[in-house]
Amino acid sequence: MTPPLTTTMMKKLFLFTAFCLTYLFSPAQEWSINYVGNYPNGRTHFHDGIIDEDGVTFLAGQEGYDSDTPEALFMRIDPNGEHREYIYPKEGFHSKATCIIETTDHNLFAAGNLYDGTDDCLLILILDKQLNLLEERQIPKEMGGLSFGGCKATLDSHDNIIVSTFITMSNGYQGTDQRGAFYKFDHQGNLISHRYLIGDYPDPVYFLMDFQLRQFWYNSEEETLLCLAPGYGNVMSFITFDSAFNYIEEHPIWQDDIGKSDHTLSRDCYTDHWFSENEALFFSSRGDADHNKLRVSHVNTQGEILDYIRLNERTDTIDDAAPTRCMAASNRNTFYFSFYYHTLSYYPGNACVYLLNDQLEIIGRHIDNDLDCYRSCLILATPDGGCITVNDSCNYQSIVTTTHPIINKLNMDDFETIPLSIKDDRPMSQERKAYPNPCDELLHIPIAPLNHPHIRCQVIDHLGRIVTDRIVHDDSTLDLDVSTLKAGLYHYRIYADQTTLFTDQFIKK
């Protein structure tokens, strides 16, 4: 994942951009890997992945399920699709790797957990880029708990590695709680410091009661840790800690008075693109009962949503979509979003990838139709402007009993072009509303005061086809003749110089 841009990151971005330009003069390669592994009846799964500056992909996960004594699994994939695997050998133990990052000395740092049948510990593995094991560490729990959970990792300003995880704890007859923990390691996997998130934090730090960290980033200039996690009312929040993991502040993302809003972001909320140190692009579902409405939102770290688009708002997009940790920034102008469509997130469906531009408009789509039973689990942007998708192939569409990864390299020319996307109906003052709605012959759209030259109006039918595109004159109200349109639902878009000023929808009787 990409941290907020600092001065150091800007330098790295410049070098990365120069590297990307070299790919413009060489053909992009496509490939697909169907990895079954040694446990065809078990659930082999990749939890995390990265792509280095040479375009080499590294994936971390587990091979096998509980009944198979799963083992931590790593895969290296070269840009041409050639690949090799490494399975961490620990006889008599279950192991898995749930996060992986590249250190500044260009080794791979992975974290997960190791289980011996009675208790588990935090597992740290360091490998070189040929997947040779260099170091291994086991960090036991220092408090009572049932098990360690999944891990996330980032680098701090001193090139140390910060790992976040949680411990599942029993709270008696009520069930279990999750308590978070932060660990700091050097490049050799030696533990420097750690802290459990219990006991000495002020109210309200609601996410500490049921720790479900989604992502976190280190701001090198301020030496602070920015966490994304559900807070009070299950509303996603930014929580800031200092370098010693002391709580600083918390900002819910657009929470209203009753703790719910159509604009809040739900639990599965991720970003791989920062516009600046204070603004990012997020992929998530909505925060109310309508969980399957996927959104891309432009959000600042004060919790304000500046702009958004709903990915399933048209008939040529997907209505029943289940989100996962699937977003990737191909460059600063295009973004990939991978998910699968099904009404329930724990069932498989069809894997789908959308391509958006920096105006939050859908410009392309790719659906994997080879297999009906897919679950999206990862997407990574490649230096040549394409992306790599990691999908779990499942044996049944009604329930998941076995999975194995299918990894695909996609290029932009693999995407079906979508001619136009209409943004979600934003909160709009009543004087902007078109009337009458439904209408029969004339639709009146209040225009003034926009104070913008070269204004146009487009009308789009339910199939995404433009049925009207006309100039708007300097009138206070646009009178739009819709008498020749067929009955049905339409969107209209008021725009200037390819910038959408506002949109809405109407019904033709």
CATH number at residue 16: 2.40.128
Q: 70 lies in a domain?
A: yes
d(CA 263, CA 284): 11
Judgement on whether residues 175 and 286 belong to the same structural domain of the protein: no
pLDDT of residue 259: 43
- In this prediction, residue 264 has a pLDDT band, given cuts at 50, 70 and 90, of low
Judgement on whether residues 464 and 444 belong to the same structural domain of the protein: yes
- In this prediction, residue 273 has a pLDDT band, given cuts at 50, 70 and 90, of confident
pLDDT of residue 316: 56
Judgement on whether residues 19 and 49 belong to the same structural domain of the protein: no
Is the pTM above the cut of 0.85?
no
The residues, any chain, with a CB within 8 Å of residue 69's CB and separated by 6 or more, are 93, 94
Q: 228 lies in a domain?
A: no
Judgement on whether residues 270 and 329 belong to the same structural domain of the protein: yes
> What is the arrangement of strands in the sheet containing 120-127, beginning at the earlier edge strand?
94-102, 108-115, 120-127, 133-139
Judgement on whether residues 20 and 55 belong to the same structural domain of the protein: no
Q: How many domains does the chain have?
A: 3
Q: 391 lies in a domain?
A: yes
- Which CATH number do you get for residue 490? 2.60.40.3080
Judgement on whether residues 84 and 185 belong to the same structural domain of the protein: yes
Q: 205 lies in a domain?
A: no
Q: Over 90: is that where the pLDDT of 196 sits?
A: no
Q: 414 lies in a domain?
A: yes
Judgement on whether residues 179 and 140 belong to the same structural domain of the protein: yes
Judgement on whether residues 350 and 283 belong to the same structural domain of the protein: yes
Question: How many CA atoms are closer than 13 Å to the CA of 227, on its beta-carbon side?
Answer: 30
- Give me the amino acid identity at 239: I
Judgement on whether residues 447 and 383 belong to the same structural domain of the protein: no
Q: 216 lies in a domain?
A: no
Judgement on whether residues 349 and 396 belong to the same structural domain of the protein: yes
d(CA 284, CA 269): 4
Query: How much of the chain, in percent, has pLDDT values that exceed 70?
Result: 71
Q: 383 lies in a domain?
A: yes
- In this prediction, residue 179 has a pLDDT band, given cuts at 50, 70 and 90, of confident
Using alpha carbons, select from 215, 241, 218, 238 the residue that is nearest to residue 155.
218
| DSSP category for residue 183 | E
Residue 482: how many CB atoms within 10 A of its CB? Answer: 19
d(CA 89, CA 74): 12
Domain end, chosen from 424, 441, 465, is at 424
Judgement on whether residues 365 and 462 belong to the same structural domain of the protein: no
pLDDT of residue 19: 38
- Which CATH number do you get for residue 169? 2.120.10.10
Domain that holds residue 103: 31-198
Residues written for the chain: 509
Burial string for 135-153 (b: 16+ CB within 10 Å, else e) reads: eebebebeeebeebbbbbb
Judgement on whether residues 179 and 311 belong to the same structural domain of the protein: no
- Give me the amino acid identity at 400: V
Mean pLDDT, residues 397-401: 53
Domain end, chosen from 370, 399, 424, is at 424
What digits encode the pLDDT tens for the residues 434-479? 889 889 999 988 877 667 777 888 887 765 567 888 888 766 788 8
Q: Over 90: is that where the pLDDT of 278 sits?
A: no
Domain end, chosen from 371, 397, 424, is at 424
d(CA 216, CA 415): 31
Q: 227 lies in a domain?
A: no
- Give me the amino acid identity at 243: S
Mean pLDDT, residues 263-269: 63
